[in-house]
Amino acid sequence: MTIQNYTEVLVGEVMTEYLKHHGFNGDNIQREDVLATVLNKLPQRYFLSTSSEGEKKAFLLDKQLRMKALIEIAAATADIDK
């Protein structure tokens, strides 16, 4: 049995969308800094490999969590891109 942090998956999806539309002048290290900053501010959610795909998908599609991630990404990119 394995566990996976789905907050990382959610933040990765939202960050990809954000960067596609808003851009970011930072290098890979700065992108990782943004990711780490955001992940440290959001609650972590782990799923067992035996969890249903419906549970995992519902978490990834939660609009409130996606909006919270987006807000944190925008703040982190503004701080790190200075």
pLDDT of residue 49: 80
Model pLDDT, residue 1: 65
Question: Are the C-beta atoms of residues 47 and 55 closer than 8 Å to each other?
Answer: yes
Looking at residue 7, what is its pLDDT?
96
* Alpha-carbon torsion angle 79, 59, 12, 21, nearest 10: -70
Provide the number of structural domains found in the chain.
1
Q: What angle do CA 26, 27, 28 make, to 5 degrees?
A: 125
Residue 10 has pLDDT above 90, yes or no: yes
Which tokens go with 6? 């789905």
- pLDDT at position 82 is 67
Give pLDDT tens digits for 22-81. Answer: 877 778 899 999 999 999 999 999 988 888 999 999 999 999 999 999 999 999 998 887
Beta bridge partners of 46: 5
Please give the residue range of the domain that contains residue 12: 3-80
